[in-house]
Structure 1
């Protein structure tokens, strides 16, 4: 048996989504917990994200009278995710465990005083499938006053939104010129900012609100959280993980873990070598994860015997990168433009080939598949002046005035006719004109016969709620016309070590590695290669962290 420099009951590697949830379970049982964070900030990619959790049959749905059940959600996942030999992370046993444990996890956190709510309308991405929910199954954290953390507030990773408004209000703001609800949301934000200034509060939203609450709860419960504490090795003895090696004062520091180790250290989105091996053609420059998402703990778990799966899968994010966009921490998305009225996506031959709405993960998958037949990387969003006037593009507000470098460097193409635009894109004008005319015919009939855009509630949700009769179908006809390039990006990987319904890490033969657990994007996703709804990274991270800690306690007796 190894000698250790210190010993804890439970050690968690990484401070993202499920880490502090697992820690709170352990502390509720009176066990000591240490969270080791590689960077100098707490919260992981979760803190920087939208902070949305996809939790079917959650208590907020019940309170609002929105129907759901274990059976309904199972039907949906069975249809959308399906059963595949190459997605062991998404086995039926794992999917069912996730659906059972999700509401229990929320009940546990609510019982600890954490505050959550649901977005009133955020449809599942495949709402035409049996068992779907059109109102949606999303859960978000309430606004959080970061000053409650005291001096530790400087350790919380900032969010991409620096606004004192709940995520639901923020999503209304692009329509502030058209919507009284958006105007009221903006007014609430202004009043809240003024009151906060007077009362000495500082509100954060989205993922920072989620992780801020978790950070405060963990500190209050006595969890030991250490930053700048990368783990270099899992200590394995007699086929069991007994601890980890980190660093203290510039020297290796061995920490024993009586009940187990939970790895929640992110994926490998910023490891180009692993991308080249598992997702050839993809780039670290096209992801929006935090700087520590480099995959070394996935590799370390394989050294301990873990099996890997689903390593080619990502949570897709269609991107349109203006000059300098590759250097932005959060890469600018493009689906909001492509799915807006008066816009379509075409390949480099000028042909439309997908439903611009729907799941962003499927959107990116279809781009890659199309490129095997016809050049489609990049593809182009083609849109008219109506779309330009009403749609946010690459982080800029609606309106025709865009930065000069966008035009000068060829990112944003502009022409007075579709034929002239085709020339700028090196596309046969007759082909692009035929594509646009065909789409305009669908708009006139209010029915997309090619790809059924607008048939889904989610397609319409992505569009403009004030554009009628269709929120997503609009004629491309008002000059000048524009085009921007689109490429497949991601907000994280979905492949990693294989875990079972107890969050135990498994070997190739299916046997568990004793006392080694994993959650988050360090694991092969329970969603397989799909995105059934919003929050299918963060929701599972929390749920499997909750499950892992409870299982470790059960084994301990």
Structure 2
């Protein structure tokens, strides 16, 4: 029998959102918890993300707007079942939709302040039966990190450290068109200045969610949280997980688990060898995954007999190697570029090959698939002066302020004609001219006959709500010179495959049998969404929910919560 240096009821590897939700539930059940975090900061990839949860039929939606059955219908129609998607099943999808809204109710009951992410943030495939064209998103209210006291410095940095609701922050680029948005901007600016004067440190998005979750765990003394505590081994004897081996004071330290071990250790976005094996053509340098995402637990659990699935999947995030990209905390994303009017994307043959709107996961998958037959990495975002006069580029600023340095660096290319632009980016001039002319024809006829851009609510959400010169909010002509191009590559916010789990979050063997006492959630698992990203928050929502489900099962709570 294994010997341990200390023992807890519930041992959690990693400190992402699902770890915190599981710890709060275990505390309510009267159980002891330790959270072991490899990094020097708490929060995981969740902290760096938008912190959005995709939660069907959640408490913040209007009565009659959604239902469990509608959420299940959407996932069943969209995700489906296939031999190469073992992470999903009808049972697991229904468990998610049923339990996610209950998890949110529980978290709110623990004092974590949440709200609807927006009343308009459509599902990514809202045209599919069961899809919602309003919003199933849930986010945390902005949070003052100073409330964490001594733990303030241990919360991982967020990508947006301002006192702004995420929904308001996404509206700011359109400020010049709306007095309402101008008022939001001045309110945020005033609160930011006031915060600095009064010693506050505001964060929003994922850092706000994890800050609030961490505070709830600390306030309730729900877990012993340890940073700089990598886990090197999961101890399994006679088919049962008994504990883990971590590091304490530079030496191996064995921690036993009375009820179980939860793996929420992130993905393998920073492990190039694993990327080459499972996702050839992708690069760790293009990832927004955190520095500790090396797939340690993927490797360890496979070694201990767990089945891996959907390892070729990532949560794509199209990006561009703009000046400063290699040291940027968040890589320059181009979803808000190619999804706007007056912009399209082409491969290296000068041909458009997909709907430039839609899911970022599908966008990057399309690039990788296209690249197998036609060079498409990088692809090229094509824009005209109408775009440059109106919108920012790749989330790093406007042309008016940055054009000179962009052109000087060679990142952005410019020409007075489409044919000239084609020569600048080394694509066939006749092909690019034909592509742009065809696009302009679609804009004038009001229908993208090739890829149906603008026919779903989400495409238009990505566009410009104030745009009036096209058939919808995301289609505008490319006809006013000069013309511009920037390279686009298939980046990501993390990987999307891992150990296969059942509806109770139990890790399964290759034979489909659960390993007793071993649970997993988050991107350490093969996603319950299969190979699809159904809406904003389809990683954080499942992580929070299946971590909570795992704790319920391990504590034997059934439907008591």
TM-score for both structures, normalised by structure 1: 0.97
In the alignment, is the contact (CA less than 8 A) between 1:285 and 1:327 conserved in 2? no
Q: Match for 1:104 among 102, 105, 108?
A: 102
In the alignment, is the contact (CA less than 8 A) between 2:10 and 2:261 conserved in 1? yes
Q: Within 2, Cα distance between the matches of 1:326 and 1:528?
A: 31
Q: Within 1, Cα distance between the matches of 2:251 and 2:219?
A: 30
1:422-452 per-position Cα deviation (integer Å, ceiling 9, x unaligned):
1112222222111111111111122211111
Q: Match for 2:526 among 513, 524, 527?
A: 524
The residue number in structure 1 matching 2:489 is: 487
Give 1:540 deviation, angstroms: 0.4
Structure 2 gaps, min length 5? none
Q: Within 1, Cα distance between the matches of 2:396 and 2:23?
A: 40
Quick check: 1:536 aligned with 2:534?
no
Q: 1:504 to 1:236 in 2, by over 3 A?
A: same
Q: Within 2, Cα distance between the matches of 1:112 and 1:248?
A: 31
The residue number in structure 2 matching 1:459 is: 459
Equivalent runs, 1:90-169 vs 2, <5 Å = 90-118=88-116, 119-169=118-168
The residue number in structure 2 matching 1:329 is: 329
Q: Within 1, Cα distance between the matches of 2:302 and 2:354?
A: 38
The residue number in structure 1 matching 2:499 is: 497
SS of aligned partner of 2:208: helix
Alpha carbon RMSD of aligned pairs, Å? 1.5
Q: Within 2, Cα distance between the matches of 1:408 and 1:187?
A: 34
Q: Match for 2:67 among 58, 66, 69?
A: 69
Give 1:328 deviation, angstroms: 2.2
Q: Within 2, Cα distance between the matches of 1:290 and 1:340?
A: 29
Q: Within 2, Cα distance between the matches of 1:350 and 1:400?
A: 27
Of residues 148-157 and 172-181 in structure 1, the stretch that sits farther from structure 2 once superposed is 172-181
TM-score for both structures, normalised by structure 2: 0.97
SS of aligned partner of 2:377: coil
SS of aligned partner of 2:241: strand
Give 1:198 deviation, angstroms: 4.8
Q: Within 1, Cα distance between the matches of 2:395 and 2:19?
A: 31
Give 1:208 deviation, angstroms: 0.7
Give 1:397 deviation, angstroms: 2.4
In the alignment, is the contact (CA less than 8 A) between 2:334 and 2:395 conserved in 1? no
Equivalent runs, 1:179-190 vs 2, <5 Å = 179-190=178-189
Equivalent runs, 1:190-205 vs 2, <5 Å = 190-205=189-204
1:312-370 per-position Cα deviation (integer Å, ceiling 9, x unaligned):
00111111111331332311111211111011111111111111111111111111121
SS of aligned partner of 1:177: helix
The residue number in structure 2 matching 1:34 is: 34
Equivalent runs, 1:156-305 vs 2, <5 Å = 156-222=155-221, 223-305=223-305
Equivalent runs, 1:468-487 vs 2, <5 Å = 468=468, 469=470, 470-487=472-489
SS of aligned partner of 2:17: coil
Q: 1:66 to 1:160 in 2, by over 3 A?
A: farther
1:138-170 per-position Cα deviation (integer Å, ceiling 9, x unaligned):
100011121111111111111011211110110
Q: 1:204 to 1:522 in 2, by over 3 A?
A: same
The residue number in structure 2 matching 1:82 is: 80
Q: 4+ residue runs of structure 1 moved beyond 4 angstroms? A: none
1:506-549 per-position Cα deviation (integer Å, ceiling 9, x unaligned):
00111100100000000000111111101111000000000000
Q: Within 2, Cα distance between the matches of 1:338 and 1:380?
A: 10
Quick check: 1:423 aligned with 2:431?
no
